[in-house]
Amino acid sequence: MCGIAGLIAAPGAPAPEPATLVALERALAHRGPDGSGHTAVGRVALVQTRLAIIDLAGGDQPLFAGSAALVGNGEIYNYREQRAAMPQTRFATESDNEVALHLWLRDGTRYASALRGMYALAIHERAGRTVTLSRDPFGIKPLYIAQTDAGLAFASEPQALLAAGIVKRALRPAARDELLQVQFTSGAETIFPGIRRVLPGETLLCGDGRVLEHHRLPALPEGGAEEIDADAALRRLDAALTESVDLHQRSDVPYGMFLSGGIDSSVLLVLMARLNTAPVLAFTAGFAAPGAADEREEAATLARAVGARHETLEVTEAMVWRHLPEIVACMDDPAADYAIIPTWFLARRARQEVKVVLSGEGGDEMFAGYGRYRSAARPWWRGGRVMRGRGTFDRLDVLRARPAAWRDGIAAAEAQAATGGRTRLAAAQATDIADWLPHDLLLKLDRCLMAHAVEGRTPFLDHGVAAAAFRLPDALKVRDGMGKWLLRQWLATNCTAARPFARKQGFTVPVGVWIGGVGERLGKLVAMQPGIAEIAEPARVVALFRHAAGRRQSFAAWHLLFYALWHRTHIQGLAPAGDVFETLATR
């Protein structure tokens, strides 16, 4: 896990300035505190900051082979298998990323089809003066590009492009409205004009300071539901999950996992306990607040059942108000998901003992766990509803103007997902896998963990698991009004202590309770922020925070609080200035 960046100057433009490279490196230092490296040849420069996970002594980057150089972020899990498949190739290191470099030398821009892992890679071919940029099919690792008059720049985080002065601080109102309404932004364009995401699975061939061609690897298998019975599906699923978790545990440094009381992390814990001789180290966060879903007791029961070492963390209101400005600051590509709060604190705690954690992101999307999927699968005359059909601020008289096109990106993803013979249920899953997953859940995991130099791994987001799970018949995904049926059945077979068919309380963070306790004071501070005053009536903001006990009101208040802090950092360019109250009061 690392940070990468680079510059590809346009013809006639000056070569990349050393000061710009230093600025990019400093902006990404938190992603790679174990070292840094760069290479500059002609009009192309590559930068990397390293978090050492595999080949601690010899894996420094850039990596060189033939006329090519590579910088990469992430892990190639099948690197041992790929090395074995290239017996004539001389490898200079034991690094997993070196495999990608040699595959590129062999296969060109189609090389990524052989990779299994999470990655954002940049490969400079010096003779042809091209740079190949690639991102993994699920979008687990981030990568952004910016086209300017001087050429093309790329980086692991938009804030690095801003900090280096490559792109000016500004925002797209349409993306801001989408963020406020659904808590994330969709598609290739980010909230920053001039910065776009390299989409999940994309490979871009760049040269002469611009993108020359691109192609894309799919995350999901094509086709409609397959014919398979429950017993055969369970056997296949067990093999796929076991292989994926085994691959995701490849590491030269200590690792652990994030454990909730839910199905996904319970499955991971059971598999890790099966595959490890030493006790698995599991971390769980909880809240001591009214209405909060505190899963520490359920997690502890499961940890005892498999002999895991279980560490718990209580996230308090005081901790949140003290650290919220820096938590939001790490979300440069904004996602107003309140789960950033426990994720950030868990990462800080985990970093005391490990550099790698396995997490259950992707389980709900891959196995149809969300209730919104079941609703979307029903026709309208049976009560079916489109996903995210209502925005957070609908029917709340807070914003100066009603957001108009905030759902366009989601609608585009829905149209793309409803192809290839997919059922309504599978199309709903594919919609989330295309946008919600990479632009909210995985973004949250990446930024909150990398803020503490911790690598997050997601075994459910693996092509073997996708092949075993995504095209299952609907009846093996949803049964008796309950999603993730086959995964629950697997858990029931392998660990009855997990109570997989018990009704689970949805995961919540008590932001409404916390905001309600300080609503009068906090609402006035939020209302005075330039980013908020531009879009909302101050008096209505104060009133919203004063009455933030209701579910819809608390979500809206949280979104405004997040946006106020985010705007202050990433548009105004101001660093956090203490706790949330001190930061919002400082101009």
Find the farthest-apart pair of alpha carbons in the chain and give their distance in angstroms, rounded.
71
Task: List, in order, residues 6 or more apart from 371 with CB less than 8 Å away.
Answer: 483
Residue 84: closest CA among 108, 107, 102: 102
Task: List, in order, residues 6 or more apart from 379 with CB less than 8 Å away.
Answer: none
Query: How many whole angstroms separate alpha carbon 318 and alpha carbon 538?
Result: 26
Query: How many whole angstroms separate alpha carbon 582 and alpha carbon 577?
Result: 6
Per the CB < 8 A criterion, the answer to whether 190 and 333 are in contact is yes
Distance of CA 526 to the CA centre of its chain: 27
Query: How many whole angstroms separate alpha carbon 269 and alpha carbon 302?
Result: 9
Distance of CA 236 to the CA centre of its chain: 27
Strand, helix or coil for residue 342: helix
Q: Which residues does residue 47 pair with via DSSP β-bridges, in sequence order?
A: 5, 38
- 2 belongs to the catalytic site: yes
Per the CB < 8 A criterion, the answer to whether 530 and 171 are in contact is no
Neighbours of 309 (CB within 10 A): 13
Say which of 2, 206, 330, 448 is annotated catalytic: 2
Strand order across the 356-358 sheet: 309-314, 281-286, 255-258, 356-358, 455-457
Tokens of 341: 């709060």
Strands 356-358 and 455-457: parallel
What is the chain's length?
A: 587
Tokens of 293: 């879903």
Query: How many whole angstroms separate alpha carbon 356 and alpha carbon 350?
Result: 9
CB-neighbour burial class of residue 208 (10 A; exposed 0-12, middle 13-18, buried 19+): middle
CB-neighbour burial class of residue 60 (10 A; exposed 0-12, middle 13-18, buried 19+): middle
Query: How many whole angstroms separate alpha carbon 46 and alpha carbon 342?
Result: 34
* Catalytic positions: 2
